[in-house]
Amino acid sequence: MKFLSFKKFFLILIRIFTLVGALSGGLLASGLNFNTQLPIKDCFTNETTSSELSNLYKSTFPLEEKKRIAETIAYKEGKSRFQSIVCIQNKNLSEEDQSKLFMDWNRHIFTYAELNSYYENYILSDDKTRSLNSIEWELLTTHLKQKKELLTRLNDATGFALNGEKISEENFSMIYLSLFLLQIEFWDAMPKTFRDSIL
């Protein structure tokens, strides 16, 4: 009963954040896109690759083919984020607006971290993990830890770049590629019943 209540809460939370993302410019957007009142929204990307990636994870393609497709998507994502940052840098924001930019960015990161914590609790719930053996449990917890580390690297690189530091397009692409490959290899190693219950 407790899990059903938590699951219901989680699904409601997802719907809320999806709506917020759609209305505000995209918590769930693939490139750089977050809620701000600054005149920089033309620099944001509106396309999303979440369905493309989900289909890739669920596909029956050989592992090497999945990796090849992931590499293509990663380079596209890295280029998208890099171009958004360059566009923002070219706006030559005032010191006051630059401060507002970082407040908006930090608020976005905080919101994402909160949502991700709910996601991790959901993934680690008894209903999802009770059929996992010790090796699969280790794979799951290691995966979540590595994923969080890579997302932190991506967000840190974005923050540094927004602050004027030179971060290359390749740097972003490689972080995206590491994230996608991590996910692909994880799903490939986990039992189908677990994958089907999550995706």
Q: Taking a C-beta distance cutoff of 8 angstroms, is the pair 46, 36 a contact?
A: no
Share of the chain above pLDDT 70, in %: 79
In a domain, 3, yes or no: no
Confidence label for 3 from pLDDT (cuts 50, 70 and 90): very low
Output the pTM of the full model: 0.79
Asked if residue 27 belongs to a domain, the reply is no
Domain range for 190 is: 59-198
Residue pLDDT, tens place only, 141-152? 999 999 999 999
Assign 57 a pLDDT band (cuts: 50, 70, 90).
confident
Q: Is residue 103 part of a domain?
A: yes
The two structure tokens encoding residue 96: 């006051």
- Separation between Cα atoms, residue 116 and residue 122, nearest integer Å: 10
Distance set, CA 35 to CA 44, 70, 105 (Å): 10, 28, 8
Residue that has been written with the tokens 């006051």 in this structure:
96
What's the pLDDT tens digit per position in 67-96? 999 999 999 999 999 999 999 999 999 999
**Residue 42 within a domain:** no
Report the pLDDT value the prediction gives residue 111, as an integer from 0 to 100: 92
Residue 6: inside a domain, yes or no?
no
Structural domain total, the chain: 1
